[in-house]
């Protein structure tokens, strides 16, 4: 496994996003299957694991904590707060963005308990609560560092301007935003800001929520709780247009001697030494496929043709619904 630097940590060049094991894409796999995937990731040399209080309303952290506890000293463990499940009047958990200092502290302490660890290596603000100054939320997170509950800080789904404000309060080691061939928003300002400030950039959804794996052909088959149902790019008309990108894309993958998923990940790794993608999967064979992308070398001509084929001008539909776009702070084209 190749390695990259994330703050003070040397981590695998490709990390593992644990969300899929408990959350987001319909009925999650069994706990036993989740354990198999996590153990396989360890065996394959993955040292960067990413979870959050939100995923499965804590169940993902419990799974990750239980399985990875014996390997705790050998991995960089990341989680997120400021977005979690809160019971409503009837006791049903609802996702709530809350960046108030007391909430961030409570989220962190809950995560520490579920993860069965005394310290979280990298703790992200999952969403910026726009009702709370970013300086207040990051200030609360900095106190967690001072107390030894967290080692370094990160932000998720933010703009370059918000990163700079936060970084002035306490050094930010990583930003986690969506980035892939079909989501280019970080190229507006975030990638440059991260390079300037010495911040690692951690792309989530690096294979476009399965699209760039050539795994999404029938959007009508999505399960009821699959979050892609609410994403404009997967609406039937937009999806039909986007499917036209796949044949030439797969041809480029064949030319590179790799799978479509590996090409998407290799493209990201070529965006800069500070870029560390975190693909997720529920299957061991897909995990191994993803990790092999770290060995690929793409020539400039192939990268140029990829850029021209799939970008913000050729992809149909927004990445998020209007409601979801209001919840994030990332730049848009």
Catalytic annotation, residues: 55
Q: How far apart are CA 154 and CA 301, in angstroms?
A: 34
Secondary structure percentages of the chain, helix, strand, coil, to 5: 45, 20, 35
* Phi/psi-derived region of residue 173, left when phi > 0, alpha when psi is between -120 and 50, beta in every other case: alpha
Q: How far apart are CA 324 and CA 306, in angstroms?
A: 28
What DSSP character marks residue 90? T
Q: How far apart are CA 264 and CA 10, in angstroms?
A: 23
Q: How far apart are CA 62 and CA 66, in angstroms?
A: 6
Burial 167-201 (b: 16+ CB within 10 A, else e): bebbbbbbbbbbbbbbbbbbbeebbebbeeeebbb
Q: Where are the alpha helices (DSSP H) in the chain?
A: 31-43, 59-68, 101-115, 134-146, 160-169, 190-197, 236-243, 246-256, 260-269, 284-291, 300-309, 322-327
The H or E element that residue 50 is part of is: strand 48-50
Q: How far apart are CA 52 and CA 83, in angstroms?
A: 9
């Amino acid at each position: 496994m190749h390695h990259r630097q994330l703050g003070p940590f040397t981590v695998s060049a490709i990390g593992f996003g644990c969300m899929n094991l408990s959350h987001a894409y319909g009925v999650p796999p069994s706990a036993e299957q989740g354990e198999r995937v996590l153990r396989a990731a360890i065996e394959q040399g993955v040292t960067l694991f990413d979870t959050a209080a939100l995923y499965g309303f804590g169940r993902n952290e419990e799974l990750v904590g239980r399985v990875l506890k014996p390997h705790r000293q050998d991995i960089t463990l990341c989680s997120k707060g400021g977005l979690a499940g809160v019971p409503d009047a009837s006791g049903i958990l609802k996702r709530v963005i809350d960046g108030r200092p007391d909430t961030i502290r409570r989220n962190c302490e809950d995560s520490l308990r579920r993860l069965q660890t005394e310290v979280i290596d990298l703790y992200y603000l999952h969403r910026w609560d726009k009702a709370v100054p970013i300086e207040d939320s990051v200030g609360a997170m900095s106190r967690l560092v001072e107390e030894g509950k967290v080692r370094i800080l990160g932000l998720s789904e933010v703009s370059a301007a918000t990163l700079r404000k936060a970084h002035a309060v306490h050094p930010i080691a990583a930003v986690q935003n969506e980035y892939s061939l079909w989501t280019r928003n970080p190229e507006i300002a975030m990638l440059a800001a991260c390079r300037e400030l010495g911040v690692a950039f951690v792309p989530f959804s690096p294979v476009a929520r399965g699209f760039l794996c050539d795994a999404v052909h029938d959007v009508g088959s999505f399960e009821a709780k699959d979050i892609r149902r609410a994403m404009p790019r997967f609406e039937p008309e937009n999806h039909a247009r986007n499917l036209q990108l796949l044949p030439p894309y797969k041809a480029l993958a064949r030319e590179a001697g790799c799978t479509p998923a590996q090409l998407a990940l290799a493209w990201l790794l070529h965006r800069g030494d500070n870029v560390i993608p975190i693909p997720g999967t529920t299957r061991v064979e897909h995990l191994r496929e993803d990790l092999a992308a770290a060995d690929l070398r793409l020539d400039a001509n192939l990268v140029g043709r990829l850029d021209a084929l799939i970008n913000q001008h050729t992809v149909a539909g927004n990445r998020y619904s209007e409601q979801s776009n209001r919840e994030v702070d990332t730049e848009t084209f």
